Structure 1
Amino acid sequence: MKVVLSALAAGLVFGLGLIVSGMVNPAKVLNFLDIAGQWDPSLAFVMAGAAGTVFIGYRLVLKRPAPLFAERFNVPTATKLDARLMGGAAMFGVGWGLVGFCPGPALTALGTGAMPALVFVAAMLAGMAGWRWLVRD
């Protein structure tokens, strides 16, 4: 139960941060990405704040022998840059640049009832299912 409540609290804080920062508004994200047009640099502060928080948080948390609600830390160990990783990153970036949504903000925006968020999430889920069906690994 503690794990579920801590996950819920983390998700609520994350979603609130996305809402306050404007990341659930695709127009704001697209204006941030449009450096040759109506560039809105405000999301750079959001990214800097997130990077700073993660930098400090990892250093503090990883000093502990184990997480609060697990036996060990599950820190990624893969270091290989392969075609699958680079292709996925490129698809993520292109999708973000085309519509102004990435998965976290899109799921948060579902709460607003916005049709673009619904269409994006439906397409994202279809793409995930299609990949699973295609690769079957």
Structure 2
Amino acid sequence: MRLLWSFIAGGIFGAGLLISGMTDTRKVIGWLDIFGSWDPTLAFVMAGAVVVMGIAWQIAARRGQPVLGGAFPEAPAPRVGRNLVIGSTLFGMGWGLAGLCPGPAIASLSWGGTGGLVFVAAMALGMFAAPPLKSRLEQQQAT
């Protein structure tokens, strides 16, 4: 049952990305092009997401456990560290260069095109390479 609801939620998320145009790299790059032909569409998408998540967090705070069982994850510590800064910088660089981030990239696979496929392949490679690289860097830093 949980898998079914995950599939439905992912489908709704992907449909929202397609409808809002966030799988179109020109829209995302247009948002970042503040000195050129700036496109404010992404601001409205972000604002809508913030409102929906704000409501979801309020509902979750009143519940003892998730509807589908298990437990809510603990909130992360609100600290800004090296990993957050480096990760955010890399994420932003990739977003700005490609015009895609993980959600829209996966949604873009549904309509074809090699750009999304290359991005998802590079993202998967980075996801697999990051943990061993992080461990290696931490070991070198400890010595």
Task: Give the alignment's TM-score, normalised by structure 2.
Answer: 0.89
Aligned pairs, number: 136
3-state DSSP of counterpart to 1:81: coil
How much does 1:136 deviate?
4.2
- The 1:130/1:75 distance shift into structure 2, 3 A limit, reads same
Tell which deviates more after alignment, 73-82 or 113-122: 73-82
3-state DSSP of counterpart to 2:118: helix
Matched, 1:106 2:79: no
- Structure 2 residue aligned with 1:4: 3
CA deviations 1:18-37 (Å, max 9, x no partner) are 00010101111100111110
- Structure 2 residue aligned with 1:121: 120
3-state DSSP of counterpart to 2:62: coil
- Structure 1 residue aligned with 2:141: none
- Give me the whole-angstrom Cα distance separating, in 2, the residues matched to 1:77 and 1:125: 24
- Give me the whole-angstrom Cα distance separating, in 1, the residues matched to 2:131 and 2:60: 34
Q: Structure 1: which amino acid aligns with 2:95?
A: W
- Structure 2 residue aligned with 1:36: 35
CA deviations 1:68-94 (Å, max 9, x no partner) are 112321142322211011100010011
Aligned counterparts, 1:64-103, within 5 A: 64-103=63-102
CA RMSD of aligned residues (A): 1.4
- The 1:111/1:60 distance shift into structure 2, 3 A limit, reads same
Tell which deviates more after alignment, 78-87 or 96-105: 78-87
Q: Which runs of 4+ in 1 moved over 4 A?
A: none
- Structure 1 residue aligned with 2:139: none
- Give me the whole-angstrom Cα distance separating, in 2, the residues matched to 1:99 and 1:81: 26
- Specify every segment of 5 or more residues in structure 2 that has no aligned partner in the other structure, as ranges: 137-143
